[in-house]
Chain A
């Protein structure tokens, strides 16, 4: 009898299939969560091209690009972690997951620095918004959406970091082996979601209109 098999499943493959399909279904719902916000962003951008381009220019392209690099690197290392556990190398798998989580933390710190800068520049709607000029109002809509989208994304990163730390601890204690690593794979799937959402956020918010 497999120790990880819940009593309502027939065999481990069935349990794994259910867990993986459940995670994919969850990812589908997440795509729609962010999809609404990105749709709102596209609609508003189409209505106010000048204000939104202006907004993009006020974002920190350098920090945004470093964050992108950090997040993509973390996704890659997470994939390495999965490979290591498949090869029964628990120690290096654990290390890879810890590094992934650390890069997640780095992402959050960098993003926090962006928020602090924006506070000083007076770019935070209703809290401290000091912009004037013809496009100031539509730029405010840009920053509203910017905070909602990046805020929700950062929340997902934060949840991901906690999740990864739990998984790292379980890996260290030897819960996973080449025969059973479903939670690790699921955490990896979640982390990929966090990555992929950012791949849409970064060009849409930071790059579009930046050089115009």
Chain B
């Protein structure tokens, strides 16, 4: 089988063959498609590292006494989980893999604007990753992924500096990736590809890139200050020197709230692509979709204070942040309504990518609506630092971003590799993921509502049943995450050849061969119509 495929021409004429076969040809490649695969391999590795930490936590929490690990080890485990999952998986996930692969293809360019910078970003990512691994091997860090002062600066005796340097470095990778996308989208669109003809995935990446570029420097500088404070006793966040620990929270959340949008905006872009293809409909309200993406990115910069309702900020600030947080729900709701309206009268095909996309809508809605609970100051005072918050952001980040990421990987897998995978297995994994996810995290809403605080390895016995339920869900979830590894591996070894457009999807990336040639297009495409022209074509036919 393999030999037949190797001899057939699509692979011979693709980026997988043309750039060379040595390890060196991959590690020094400036081809955006190869760099996307480098990212895909490395973020998958980090995803499973973070997942092991999560599994250990769920295992500890089966027992109300939490005897599996000490409180300190537990702290280090959830910190590692948070740091790895946020900065080494979620933030680079869709932009650095699917974005890297698809942005030039979708706008009709031969590569990103700065190919060497793109490769450099991956190396920065790896260096940051090495620091994080080193931190883990030397004993870990126990501050939580938020590095709150004064604990991180004065009291923690774990390896805060190593962790902070790791995140600092990976931050630059994120900034440079965002910069590259922005310049590419602005200057390298194919003839006829004007702004309102761009697929929504590109709009999602564009909005994300703005946030990456403008928020990440704030994080980098803030972490730099933490490092200086630990090393030299600079007293900006240190209350004993007259500094202000809450100032750290302001700076941190000025980045880290928009960071949530770095994770969800590209996911929204992916889902828009999947829904249109799966329902064979033009997206409902295209311009509303583009402006709601930008609106979320913009308003996202103004809501950071809702993480600090109980941190001693002024009541009036809390009220303003609360109102702004409600406002950000408006463009998010527009998106959900428009996806649902797109499905209306569509010819829906429940293939695996579509199942992931539909799962995304459901989970994102639950996560988003509970976000409104938390945006209400009076409720948040009760719910903050409980499992309600944990469940809320996992619904957005795992239920939302990870579902969309996997949906996207399934959708574009034939384009990336030129092979088909087992549709049955993929559908099963998608359904299992939806069930496992809800089983894991819905009980956590209830636990939080009942008052179980987050970040403890012990809990009173009345929370036992729901915690066990959550841990059982985690097992189901783990199986559904492992399944794609197997059927994708089998697809690479013996999958049928995909052809250029197995989904009959619209979009420039489907016009070139699968896998695409090194410079993407034999001839620069000329665009004559808007995206998602499914409806029209079928009506004409």
Contact = CB atoms under 8 A, between A and B. Distances in A.
A148 B241 contact: no
Contacts of B25: none
A14 interface: yes
Interface in A28-80: 28-30, 32-33, 35-37, 39-40, 43-44, 47-48, 51
B207 interface: no
Interface string B184-217: 1011100000000000000000000000011111
B232 A137 contact: no
Given A18-B187, A21-B183, A43-B244, A30 B217 contact: yes
A138 interface: yes
Nearest to B191: A10
B312 interface: no
Contacts of A14: 187-188
B111 interface: yes
A47 B217 CA distance: 25
Contact of B213 (A10, A28, A126, A148): A28
Nearest to B184: A18
Contacts of B111: 8
A204 interface: no
Contacts of A138: 242
A164 B308 CA distance: 45
Interface stretch (B53-61, B220-228, B479-487): B220-228
Interface residues of A, number: 37
Contact of A17 (B180, B187, B235, B236): B187
A141 B113 contact: no
Of B109, B180, B241, B242, chain A has the most CB atoms within 10 Å of the CB of B242
A17 B114 CA distance: 12
A8 B186 CA distance: 15
A31 to B, nearest CB: 8
Interface string B117-161: 000000000000000000000000000000000000000000000
Interface in A128-151: 137-138, 140-141, 144-145, 147-148
Say whether chain A's binding surface is mostly helix, strand, loop, or mixed. Answer: helix
Nearest to B254: A36
A133 B109 CA distance: 65
Contact of A36 (B222, B233, B244): B222
Given A22-B183, A32-B218, A40 B213 contact: no
B247 interface: yes
A200 interface: no
Nearest to B231: A126
A33 B220 contact: yes
A25 interface: yes
A147 B235 CA distance: 12
B61 to A, nearest CB: 37
A171 to B, nearest CB: 23
Contacts of B109: 8
B214 A148 contact: no
Nearest to B109: A8
Interface of B: 109-115, 175, 179-180, 182-184, 186-188, 213-218, 220-222, 225, 228, 232-236, 241-244, 247, 251, 519, 524
Interface of A: 7-10, 14, 17-18, 21-22, 25-26, 28-30, 32-33, 35-37, 39-40, 43-44, 47-48, 51, 125-127, 137-138, 140-141, 144-145, 147-148
Given A8-B111, A32-B221, 6 more contacts: A25-B179, A28-B213, A29-B179, A35-B218, A48-B242, A148-B228
26 contacts: A8-B519, A9-B188, A14-B188, A17-B187, A18-B187, A21-B182, A21-B183, A21-B186, A22-B183, A25-B183, A28-B214, A29-B214, A32-B214, A33-B217, A36-B218, A36-B221, A40-B225, A44-B236, A47-B242, A127-B232, A141-B235, A141-B236, A141-B242, A144-B234, A148-B234, A148-B236
